[in-house]
Amino acid sequence: MNSKKKKILVAMSGGVDSSVAAALLLKDGYDVTGMYAVNYRPRILSTDNTDGECWIPDYRDAVRVAAKLGISLLRWDFTKEYKKFVLDYMYKEYSLGRTPNPDVLCNKFVKFGVWLDRAKKEGFEKLATGHYARLMAYDVGHMTLMMAKDENKDQTYFLHQLSQKQLSHVLFPLGDYTKPEVRKLAKKFDLPTAEKEESMGICFIGEVPMKEFLQTKIKTKPGNIVLSDGTVVGEHGGLAFYTMGQRHLGKLQDTSYKLQNTKPLFVVDKNIKKNQLIVGYENDPLLYKKQIRAVRVNWIRGKAPKFPLKCETRLRHRQPLQKSSILNLKSSFIIKFDKPQRAPTPGQFAVLYKNGECLGGGVVRQAHHKL
């Protein structure tokens, strides 16, 4: 890297990844400043039964890492922006019966939106994070988003909505490292977070199941649970609380149909108009789709590729890449898969790849089990 003492702001979450990202940039000669962002401030009961906020332990870890590295650590508050761009969107999508991915929206509008905007106003040339992804220049001032060396940790799925303008001011120092290598580096740098466990889930949910959390934000709207032939076998508490492919764990009130066996049932579809939750067995044809439509399309290079496009698609983080062909519909696109896909979920994102490059993607809106 050609540092030339460039001023870099490193988003430090208190985890091992962002800690190592800061250490690597410092080692490469950059003028590094840390920043901890407070995005949500719920009151929680901590393990020692004292009332607190869920971000405080991570902030303390970030403080310790910054002290170890000898850099300043800023603390910025983005709770209003996070509510506007992530939480309100999430509640709206769930209330419409869809299953959103808040991490994608957080990256687009918060981390590489308002965080980046403020960083630039404060005089920083780049914003660095601990994401596992790589950037490659393909023209002057233009970047491609490439999959990370560690394919298991690759986070390009969550970054696919970023623009050229955003990527031109971003650094991903961990793109050429595997997670085990990052752990070794953390120990080598003697960082306080070297042995810290990976953070799973979302801060504002904590240990509470998503359904239980959503029930405090979204009104319940009971409706029928039906089989694909329309037979009513029970009642649900609201389509918002179920997602495609989910194993149905609720009690079925079988009134007109005797289940032939005790095989588990899965959510295979939703009828939003009729407020019906459609369930079936693992091999139900409704669960497998050959074609989907995606909207709110973002092409990372700033322009659409040539169509029809042969590429690979990922419908969820860490899903193996699936061979597919893309047809362009201007404001949306159709993805036809070589093999049927289990439970494509409206509200989630379909992300496209070719030769290790993340091309972009869009929000899944419709899915069909036949071409």
What does each C-alpha distance from 255 to 90, 233, 239 come to in angstroms?
Answer: 35, 6, 21
Q: What is the DSSP letter of 108?
A: I
Which sign does the torsion angle of CA 366, 296, 101, 19 carry?
positive
How many helices and strands in the chain, by DSSP H and E?
10, 19
- Residue 25, SS3? helix
What does each C-alpha distance from 294 to 187, 276, 327, 350 come to in angstroms?
Answer: 43, 23, 11, 7
Residue 153, number of CB atoms within 10 A of its CB: 19
| Best CA proximity match to 252, nearest among 228, 269, 235 | 235
| Best CA proximity match to 32, nearest among 64, 63, 58, 70 | 70
CB 195 within 8 A of CB 184: no
In angstroms, the CA 257 to CA 303 distance is 53
Of 54, 106, 311, 358, the catalytic one is: 106
In angstroms, the CA 362 to CA 181 distance is 32
Active site residue 358: no
First to last CA, the chain: 48
Peptide bond into 308 cis (omega under 30): yes
Q: Which two tokens stand for residue 165?
A: 């303008």
In angstroms, the CA 1 to CA 129 distance is 16
Of 54, 203, 311, 358, the catalytic one is: 203
Active site residue 311: no
Write out the catalytic residue numbers. Answer: 106, 203
